[in-house]
Structures are given as C-alpha cells and as structure tokens.
Structure 1
Amino acid sequence: MALSRSVRGLTALITGAGSGMGRATAEVFAREGANVAVTDLSADAAWQTADALQRDGLPAEAWALDVADPQAIETVVQAAVARFGGLDILVNNAGISAFAAVDSPTYDQVWDRAFAVLLTAHQRLVRSALPHLRASKHPRIVNIASTEALGATARDSPYAAAKAGVTGLTRALAVELGKEGITVNCICPGPILTGMTAEVPEADRQAFANRRTALRRYGDPEEVAHMTLSLCLPSASYITGAVIPVDGGLMARNA
C-alpha cells in the first residue's frame, strides 16, 4: 500500500487564518499545493493572507467569518465548497484570549464568549463541513486547543475549560466518525510567538521559556502549522483521537 505524503489538490478550510498560527497554516498548506479557504473575523486580515498567496500563484480565497455566528459558518462553508468543488480538511484554529478571575464581575461574560468561540464553534464547523468531508477520499479534522487544556494558569479558567472541552470533543468525534474514515485530532500549542503573546515583554517571554520549556524558547507559528499539515496528509490515515502538544517540551519538563 503506497500512502501519499502530499495534500496537493485537496481543499482545506482554516479558521482564524488572518494572523498567527492560522496564517502560517494557510501558507504551509498552500505551498504544499492545497486549495486554501482562508477565514478570519477580520475581513481585511483574511484578504491580506489570501492576496499574498494569490500573488505567489497559489489557490486561495478569503471570507470574513465570525465563528460565533452559526449562520455565517454555514454560509462560508458552502461558499468555500462551491469555489473549490469540495472540502477535505477542516482546521479549527480561530481563538481568543479569555482571562478573568473567578470572582470577577465580568466572569460570566468572559466564560460565555470563550465557549462560543473556542468550543461551540468547533462542533458547528464540523457539523457544517461533515457532508463534504464524507465525500472526500482523505477527510481530516484538526482542532487547535492549547497546553492550557493540560495544565492551567491562574485566572484563565474560562479559557482552560473551553480548551479542555476541545480535547474531549476531539476524542469523542474521533470515535464517532472513525468508522467513516474521518480522522479527528487535536494540537495543543504551548508558548508561541503570535499576536496574543506579542504584548508580553521580550525579557518576560525569555524568562518564561528558560524556566518552563525544554527548548528554552517560544515556538514559531510555522512549527505548529507543520504539525497540522502532518496530521492532514493522506498517509496520516491511522492517526485519530490524538492530543499532541507542540510546546517545546513544556508539558514534559518538571524542573
């Protein structure tokens, strides 16, 4: 049995692809020959990503998408399928920061928004994409969670709970959809150089990396993107239900 290590000609829909890990994922997939449906809450950010890829002669289109809007999800999925003729890969990457002390007066608001964007949106996108994934020869779903799902930080219980939900959703859908050959996996990035971490002073980032990670540095978004790509290869057909930290050894390090 010869298993392909190419996504050329496959179509991937990536949420939150206007910046950070999402944009890196769109770039990696496009360079490997996939058709890329770029979606982001910011229409400008989505179009900037797609335009850069198009200028390089790569197949990409952009759509504004608020993943907390169920109707918008359905509209964008259908539009992407119409544009590229199908859908093979769904990458649930869109995310927000959601920190609040448990006794904060805004806690419920932060909690509700965290779950809407970080967890509920994942299952809605899967459900919308499912008929098209079922028609694919190599259907793949990758959910982006966080190492905060595996070990939390003070004041991040809305974020940590939602991300832990993503790992549970991943395993449950892997079991449910496995008989159809649809793989569902989860990546848990650790400290990555994105817009969410850019506001942290460099000295503080380096001190954290030295103290917590085995590699003593923050990761690059492209390093996460390549793991996402690996899980979406046709040859990755026997990997499902996996929760994979891409964290520079953060979860492995005790001291």
Structure 2
Amino acid sequence: MPRLSRLSRSVAGKVALVTGAASGMGRATAILFADEGAAVAAVDVNREPVESVAAEIRAAGGNARAWACDVADRAAVEQLIAEVVVQFGGIDILINNAGIAAAVPFEADNYDEVWARTLAVDLTAMTYTIRAALPHLRRSESPRIVNIASTEGLGATPGHSAYTAAKHGVVGLTRSLALEFGKEGITVNCICPGPIRTAMTEAIPEEAKERYARQRTALRRYGLPEEVAHLTLSLAMPAASFVTGVALPVDGGLTIRRA
C-alpha cells in the first residue's frame, strides 16, 4: 500500500551547522543530527572538546567535522561558513546554540563588560552566522534556522539582565526574520529551554536543583540536553515546512506554572 503522507521527517543527507557544539545542548544536538543521517559541522570556541565531539560521531559511523570559532568575530564566522561549504557542499540547517551566561547586578563595576560580551555572543553572533549562511540556505530544498533562546527570553530573573535582554532579543530576531525570509521558504524558529542539566547549571548544588524543579516545573525535574535536541530536530525536518516564527518552551512546564 502506498504511503499517504508526503512530507519527510528525515534529515538524512542534509548539512547541519551547530554552534556551541562542544558540550551540553550543542553536543547533544550535533550527535542526534548525525545519528539521524545529517552531515554535521560542529562549531565551538574551544577546539579540543569540539574535535572530541566530532571524533565521537565519526567513531559511531556518522559524518562530522569540527571547527574552532568565536562566533562573536564576524570575519571568523565568514571564514567558517566558507570552509563548511567547501567541506560539505552547502548548508541546509543552521542551529545557533552558542551562548554564555553571567549573573551580575546592574550596578556592578564590571556590568558594561558583561553586557557587551553577553550581547555579542548570545545575540549579535546569530546575525553573523545567519547573514553568512543565507546564500547557501537559499540553495537548499528545505532551509531551516533554529535559534536557541531561553525561558529568560519569555520572562526575567533578577541579576540576569544582560542574559535576559539578549534572549529576548533572540526571540525578537527570530520572529522578524521569519517574516522577512518566509517568502523564500526559509523557516526561522527558536527554542526556549528552561532548567537543563548543562555546564551552565553544573555548579548549582543538586539539592538546590531539586528544590527549584519541584517548586517551578510541572514535571518537577531538570531537563536533559537530548530532550532539547529532539525539539531542535523536529523544527529542522523538511516536514516542519509550515512552522516559522515560533518561540517554543522546552521547560518541563515552567512557563505555565502560576503557583
């Protein structure tokens, strides 16, 4: 019997570029996409750990190559994109996952420095990668851009104003570019992870994690990087062709809980 469905849920044969791929959600995303048959350009500011991720993928039979790049450096990003295209022949999926976080009071002496670096890495860098990748995405049959924001992009936490502002910016950038690129069939979406077990949350004591999760999330636990990666994969599939401009919480119910 012939299949009734026509839209593909496979990224096999696609080229996916993942920034911040050395650890946490980025590592999980790079590995998952490779497991699903995509060629993965794994990018991180730290060379040794991202090369380790690419080697792990290749050892499992996947196709991946690593690049070290500071995504806040426009020239470095442009060179990165050029090298990825030479290596893999194009780019179908761009996943902007690289990010930093620093909690600093608004009146702290180093606030200006923290603000500048946070906005550069968490927001401005996305404009560099998107602008550099855009000509190649336009040649793809199913071009996808997925930006990783945060539930801080949907709310706020005291002492995190630089990070919160940057993640609100990611949501706004995503929505604006979804409208701008929609006529070309390029979808632009973002994911807003809540409490996830990554390097950013590693220093939080386990007891504090458990207490926060019980009080703030419906599922009463922290999420795993792979749980975020699977939602990223869903938005990157060819079948996700009518989904654009969304800010999707992956937060265990944090944003819906009122008490």
Q: TM-score, normalised by structure 2?
A: 0.98
1:158 aligns to 2:158 (yes or no): no
Residues 88-115 of structure 1 deviation map (CA, whole Å, 9 limit, x = unaligned): 0000000101221111111110000011
Question: Matches of 2:105 and 2:200 in 1, distance apart?
Answer: 19
What's the counterpart of residue 57 of structure 2? 53
Residues 224-244 of structure 1 deviation map (CA, whole Å, 9 limit, x = unaligned): 000000000000000000000
Residue 134 (structure 1) aligned to one of 134, 138, 142: 138
Conserved in 2, the CA contact under 8 Å of 1:114 and 1:159? yes
What's the counterpart of residue 13 of structure 2? 9
What's the counterpart of residue 84 of structure 1? 88
1:1-255 aligned at under 5 Å gives the runs 2-255=6-259
Q: What number of residue pairs does the alignment pair up?
A: 255
Residues 103-153 of structure 1 deviation map (CA, whole Å, 9 limit, x = unaligned): 111111000001100000001100000000000000000000000111111
Question: Matches of 2:251 and 2:240 in 1, distance apart?
Answer: 21
Q: TM-score, normalised by structure 1?
A: 0.99
DSSP 3-state at the match of 2:200: helix
Residues 196-253 of structure 1 deviation map (CA, whole Å, 9 limit, x = unaligned): 1010000000000000000000000000000000000000000000000000000011
Runs of at least 4 residues off by over 2 Å: none
Question: Matches of 2:91 and 2:121 in 1, distance apart?
Answer: 22
Question: Matches of 2:74 and 2:101 in 1, distance apart?
Answer: 21
Letter of the 2:32 partner, please give it. V
Question: Matches of 2:21 and 2:107 in 1, distance apart?
Answer: 34
* Aligned-pair Cα RMSD in Å: 0.6
DSSP 3-state at the match of 1:14: strand
Question: Matches of 1:81 and 1:217 in 2, distance apart?
Answer: 40
Question: Matches of 1:65 and 1:228 in 2, distance apart?
Answer: 22
How high is the sequence identity, in percent, across the aligned residues? 59
Conserved in 2, the CA contact under 8 Å of 1:98 and 1:111? no
Question: Matches of 1:118 and 1:214 in 2, distance apart?
Answer: 28
DSSP 3-state at the match of 1:91: strand
Query: What is the CA distance between 1:194 and its match in structure 2?
Result: 0.3
Letter of the 2:199 partner, please give it. G
Question: Matches of 2:106 and 2:118 in 1, distance apart?
Answer: 14
Question: Matches of 1:218 and 1:225 in 2, distance apart?
Answer: 15
Question: Matches of 1:32 and 1:238 in 2, distance apart?
Answer: 21
Question: Matches of 1:130 and 1:99 in 2, distance apart?
Answer: 33
Question: Matches of 1:139 and 1:177 in 2, distance apart?
Answer: 10
DSSP 3-state at the match of 1:197: coil
